[in-house]
Structure 1
Amino acid sequence: MVDDLVTRATLAGAGLSLATGPLGCFVVWRRMAYFGDATAHAAILGVALALATDLPVTVGTLIVALAMALTVAGLASRGWAMDTTLGVLSHSALAFGLVAVSYFPTVRTDLSAWLFGDILMVGRADLALIWGGAALVAALIAWRWQALLTATLNEDLAHAAGHAPARERLVLVIALAVVVAVALKVVGALLIAAMLIIPAASARWLAKSPESMAGLAVAIGVVSVVAGLQLSLWQDTPAGPSIIVAAAAIFALTGALSRLPAGRLAGRRRG
Structure 2
Amino acid sequence: MLDDFLIRAALAGLALSVAAAPLGCFVVWRRLAYFGEAVSHSAILGVALALALSIAPIWGALAVAAGMAVAVALLDARGLPDAILGTLSHGALAAGLVALSLSGARVDPSAFLFGDVFGVARQDLAGLWMGAALVAALLAWRWRRLLTSTLDADLARATGIDPRREGLILSLALAVAVAMAIEVVGALLTVAMLIIPATAARGLARSPEGMVVAAALIGAASVGLGLAASLAFDTPGGPSIALSAAALFALTLPLRRS
TM-score of the pair, normalised by structure 2: 0.97
The separation in 2 between residues aligned to 1:159 and 1:103, in whole angstroms, is: 47
The separation in 1 between residues aligned to 2:255 and 2:73, in whole angstroms, is: 36
What is the CA-CA distance between 1:2 and the residue it aligns to?
11
Q: Secondary structure at the match of 2:10?
A: helix
Question: Residue 141 of structure 1 is aligned with which of 135, 139, 142?
Answer: 139
1:197-245 Cα deviation digits (max 9, x unpaired):
0000010110000000001111110000000000000000000000001
Q: Kindly tell me: are residues 43 and 254 of structure 1, through their superposed partners in 2, closer, same or farther at Cα, counting changes over 3 Å?
A: same
Aligned partners of 2:131 and 2:177 also within 8 Å: yes
The separation in 2 between residues aligned to 1:19 and 1:132, in whole angstroms, is: 10
Aligned partners of 2:49 and 2:103 also within 8 Å: no
TM-score of the pair, normalised by structure 1: 0.92
The separation in 2 between residues aligned to 1:120 and 1:80, in whole angstroms, is: 38
Q: Secondary structure at the match of 1:206?
A: coil
Q: Matches of residues 33-182 of structure 1 in structure 2 within 5 Å?
A: 33-81=33-81, 83-108=82-107, 110-182=108-180
The separation in 1 between residues aligned to 2:138 and 2:2, in whole angstroms, is: 35
Q: Secondary structure at the match of 2:175?
A: helix
Higher Rg of the two aligned structures: 1
Question: Residue 200 of structure 2 is aligned with which of 194, 198, 202?
Answer: 202
| Root-mean-square deviation over aligned CA pairs | 1.5
**Structure 2 residue ranges without an equivalent (≥5):** none
The separation in 2 between residues aligned to 1:253 and 1:138, in whole angstroms, is: 27
Aligned partners of 2:2 and 2:122 also within 8 Å: no
Identity of aligned residues (%): 60
What is the CA-CA distance between 1:104 and the residue it aligns to?
3.4
1:49-93 Cα deviation digits (max 9, x unpaired):
101222321111111101111111111122332x01111100000
For these two proteins, the number of residue pairs brought into alignment is 258
Q: Secondary structure at the match of 1:107?
A: coil
